[in-house]
Amino acid sequence: MLSVKGVNQFYGGSHTLWDVDLDVATGSVTCLMGRNGMGKTTLLRAVMGLLPVASGEILYEGRDIRRIAADRRAGMGIGYVPQGREIFPQLTVEENLRLGLYVRKSGQAEALERVYATFPVLKQMARRRGGDLSGGQQQQLAIGRALVYDPRLLILDEPCEGIQPNIVQEIGDLILRLNQDTGLTVLLVEQKLPFARRVASEFRILDKGRVVAQGAIPALSDDLVKHHLTV
Ligand SMILES: Nc1ncnc2c1ncn2[C@@H]1O[C@H](COP(=O)(O)OP(=O)(O)OP(=O)(O)O)[C@@H](O)[C@H]1O
């Protein structure tokens, strides 16, 4: 579904991604792992078109999307939940969700109702301001805002960062449900190992901007964890 080939990226003179290849198969849940500062967020932002890349290809459903603007990538079926959620604190929950709806040409009311059915708490809080929600509720809002345009690929950057364990469990359940029931393909960055092992089918490890290990999740050995993930 998504195929990144030989991508290099620089912040000014600093070479951040080195010849990165990353394949995300249709129907998989792929977890991108690595210590802090290894380039995970940079890679996701490059896939979303929020950062330019110096070289390489980014193919989505077989089409090179490098020259397609970020908002059009959303319309092509790529949903993105950024690190830190980036909801609008002064807007209501419903207004935040409606911001995701603009890329849909039809079925807006139905899409909103589907998100409310997935996250009943958002319906209860529809008129509250985004900034008044708890961290876990804000994460659900950020995921809901990406789901309103029915993505086929959902990209999540550290969805469990800074939220309570019971909500972490719920977000894991949700990802598994979306993947199993609707066939949604998921690419996520997650540092929490038990979460990654529970939710993902595939892993990729970035170390200093290079992919150093990859495979099916049972192949994520203690040795790999020790060498590339523990601090
Ligand atoms: N806007 C920027 N300008 C310059 N350097 C940056 C910028 N954003 C990130 N970097 C640097 O690029 C490298 C990769 O950062 P990135 O945020 O992609 O890592 P990460 O693996 O997602 O880490 P984390 O888990 O901490 O979010 C780091 O050395 C970081 O300091």
Smallest CA-to-CA distance from 2 within 49, 45, 65 is with 65
Q: How confident is the model at residue 99 (pLDDT cuts 50, 70, 90)?
A: confident
How far does residue 36's CA lie from ligand 1's centre (Å)? 8
Give pTM, 2 decimals: 0.93
16 within ligand 1 shell (Cβ under 6 A): yes
Cα dihedral 137/138/140/143 (nearest 10): 180
9 within ligand 1 shell (Cβ under 6 A): no
Substitution candidate for ligand 1 out of 15, 33, 42 with most atoms within 8 A of CB: 42
**Atom of ligand 1 at shortest range from CA of 206:** 21
Residue 27, pLDDT > 90, answer: yes
Residue 207, pLDDT > 80, answer: yes
How far does residue 43's CA lie from ligand 1's centre (Å)? 10
CATH architecture of 1-77+153-231: 3-Layer(aba) Sandwich (3.40)
How far does residue 206's CA lie from ligand 1's centre (Å)? 12
**Atom of ligand 1 at shortest range from CA of 209:** 14
Question: What are the phi and psi torsion angles at 4 (to 5°)?
Answer: -100, 130
60-97 per-position pLDDT tens digit: 999 999 999 988 888 899 999 998 888 899 999 999 99
Question: Where exactly are the structural domains of the chain?
Answer: 1-77+153-231, 84-150
136-195 per-position pLDDT tens digit: 899 999 999 999 888 999 999 999 988 888 889 989 999 999 999 999 999 999 988 999
% pLDDT > 70, the chain: 100
CB-based contact 189:157 (threshold 8 Å):
yes
